[in-house]
Amino acid sequence: MQTMIRKENLSYNKSDYQTEPFLNLSDPNVVKKIRDAIDFAESNLGKEYPLFIGGKEYYSNNKIKSINPGDFSQVVGVFQDASIEQAESAVNAAYEAFKTWSKLDVYQRAHIFFRAANILRQRRFEAIAWMILEVGKNYAEADADVAETIDYLEYYAQQMIELYENKPKLLKFPGEKNYYHYLPLGVVLVIPPWNFPLAIPAGMSIAALVTGNTVILKPANDSCFMSYFFYSIMKEAGLPDGVLNFLSGRGSVVGDYLVKHPLVRMIAFTGSKEVGINIYKEASIVRPGQKHLKRVIAEMGGKNAIIVDDIKDEEFLNYAVNSVLVSAYGYQGQKCSACSRLLLHKNIYDKFMNLFVEKVKNIEVGLPKENKFMGPVINKAAQDKILEYIEIGKKQNKLVFGGSKLLEDKGYYIQPTIFEDVKVNDVIAQEEIFGPVLAVMKFEDFNQAIDIANSTEYGLTGAVFSENRYNIDKAVKDFYCGNLYINRKCTGAIVGVHPFGGFNMSGTDAKAGGPDYLLYFLQGRSVSEKIDF
C-alpha cells in the first residue's frame, strides 16, 4: 500500500468541484486532435489483451474479437474468453484484496480516484478515438462518455469523503456514547453494457471501489477494449493489485458462475430486462458457503416518451423538434434513455411532423470516424432484431420514413425510422427496440398524454415540452419515470446534476451519479458504548 495521505494533503477542494466541460467541437484544433488520435488508434488495431487477475496477466485458449461495427475490416482488439477456473481465481484475488483495501484510509482511497480523473483528462483524446472505433459513437457522443467518466471519478470520491466526515447523527441516550458509520460489503461483480462503454463500467466500478469494496469487472463482449482502458487508467493511478480485476468472457459462462458464487457479495448490472431479471433471480438463491444475502443493482431498459403539448410559440416548437431528434436518434437510439415514443397534441401534430420528418431525412448516416450524426448499431444481432421490429411496424402502423439497412458492405447501419398511426398497445409502442425507431402517437388532451406515457412496464426517462404551467405541474406529479425532463431532451444525464435510474422494469431505483448511490455499496453499523456505570 502507498504512503498514508491525510485530508490536508488531498489536491481536492469541494468548493472547486464542477462537472467536466465538453470539448468545443467547433474548434478545428480540437477536431484535428480527435482525428490524429483515431489515426494512432488505427495503427494499433488487432492487438491481443490479457485478463488481469490480482494484478497478473492471464490468457485463455478461447478468444473474443472486438470488431468495429462501422467497418467490418477492423478488429479493435483480441480478448480472452475466461474460463471458470480463471473466474474462480478472480474471486479469490478480490476476496483477499478486500482484507486490506477495505481498511484503507478514506482519504487515501479518494486520492487514487482524483488522480485517475487527471490521468483520464490527459488521455481524453485517446479514449475518444478508441470509443469511436469500438462502438460507433460520433465525436460528441464519445466525448460526453469520457467527460461522464471523469465526473464519476471525482464525484464519487468527494461523496465518500462526505459520508465519512458527516456521519448520521443519532439521538442522545443517558449513560451511552452511540455512533453510526458505514462499512463496505466485500466482492462486487460489475456487469456493464456496451452502449456507454467507459462511463458505465467505470461508474459502477468506481462506486464499489471508493466505498472500500473490491471488484471483478466483466465487460460486454462488444466493448472489451474500453473496460480494459479503464483498468489501465486505474492501474496508472496507483490502485493496488487485486482490488480491480479485469475478466473478459461470456456472460453465459463466467458471468453466470460469478453471479452464483458464494463469495460475491453484490452484483451491479446494467443491460437488458431479460438478463437483469435472471441475475436478480439467481442472486436471490443462498448457496452452500454463502453467509449473506446478495445485493443487486439492476439498471435495465426503457420505453421513453416525449410529450409535446399544444405549443403556440414558433421558436419553442422548433426547439422541441430538434430536442426530439437528438433524443430519438442520438447514438442511433442505443441509449436506455432514448426517446422511442413521441406523443403530439392534435393541434400541433401536422406542423410538428412536417418539420420533424424533413430534419430526419437530412440526418447523415455513415462512418463514425468521419463524425456523421448517426453511425452503426452495435452488431448483427442488434441489427436483425431492430429490422424485425420494423417489419412488425410496417404491418401494424404507417411507415413515414426509413426502415432499411444502409452501407451493408461496411457495417451495421440502419436508417432513422419513423412510424405514425401507432396505438398505445401496439408492439412498437410497448417493447424496447434499442435502435433508431420512433413511434408517433396523437393525443387529444394532456390527461390522455400522461396515461399513454405511463402505459408501458418501464419507467426510466420522459420529457414534456409545454408552455402550460398547470400541465407541467401535472407531469411532475403524475408522469411516472425516474428522470423527468421539462422543456429539454430526455437524454444526456450529467453526474451530480441529473441522478439517473428508473422505476418498474427499468431497474431497482438506484440513482447513479446521485447523492445516495454509494449507500447501495455500503452497510450501516451502529456502535454503542456504556460510559456511565
Query: Which 3 state secondary structure label does DSSP give 345?
Result: strand
The strand pairing partners of 268, in sequence order, are 190, 297
Counting Cα atoms < 13 Å in the Cβ hemisphere of 373 gives: 16
Counting Cα atoms < 13 Å in the Cβ hemisphere of 311 gives: 23
Specify whether the CB–CB gap between 368 and 376 falls below 8 A.
Answer: yes
Sheet holding 47-49, edge to edge: 47-49, 75-80, 63-67
Closest by CA to 337, choosing from 301, 367, 361, is: 301
The active-site residue out of 336, 339, 481, 490 is 336
Instruction: Specify whether the backbone of 492 is left (phi greater than 0), alpha (psi in -120 to 50) or beta.
Output: left
Q: Which amino acid is at 283?
A: A
Q: How far is the C-alpha of 465 from the C-alpha of 448, rounded, in Å? A: 15
Sign of the dihedral defined by the CA atoms of residues 100, 199, 36, 121, in that order:
negative
Q: How far is the C-alpha of 490 from the C-alpha of 328, rounded, in Å? A: 9
Q: How far is the C-alpha of 319 from the C-alpha of 502, rounded, in Å? A: 26
For the purposes of burial, counting CB atoms within 10 Å of the CB of 110, is it exposed (0-12), middle (13-18) or buried (19 or more)?
buried
Q: How far is the C-alpha of 442 from the C-alpha of 213, rounded, in Å? A: 49
Q: How far is the C-alpha of 167 from the C-alpha of 114, rounded, in Å? A: 22
Residue 385 is placed in which grid cell?
A: 432484431
- 299 catalytic per annotation: yes
Q: Residue 235: CB partners within 8 Å, gap ≥ 6?
A: 52, 55
Q: Residue 73: CB partners within 8 Å, gap ≥ 6?
A: none
Helices marked H in 65-214: 84-101, 106-122, 124-135, 139-165, 199-210
The active-site residue out of 20, 299, 420, 432 is 299
Please report, for residues 175, 243, 389, 399, 423, the alpha-carbon distance to residue 396 in angstroms, rounded to integers and kept in the order given: 73, 52, 11, 9, 9
Q: How far is the C-alpha of 115 from the C-alpha of 442, rounded, in Å? A: 51
Instruction: Specify whether the backbone of 308 is left (phi greater than 0), alpha (psi in -120 to 50) or beta.
Output: beta
Closest by CA to 280, choosing from 264, 263, 268, is: 268
| C-alpha Rg value of the chain to the nearest Å | 24
Closest by CA to 73, choosing from 383, 373, 409, 379, is: 409
Closest by CA to 109, choosing from 120, 98, 96, is: 98
Specify whether the CB–CB gap between 258 and 265 falls below 8 A.
Answer: no
Q: Which positions are catalytic?
A: 299, 336
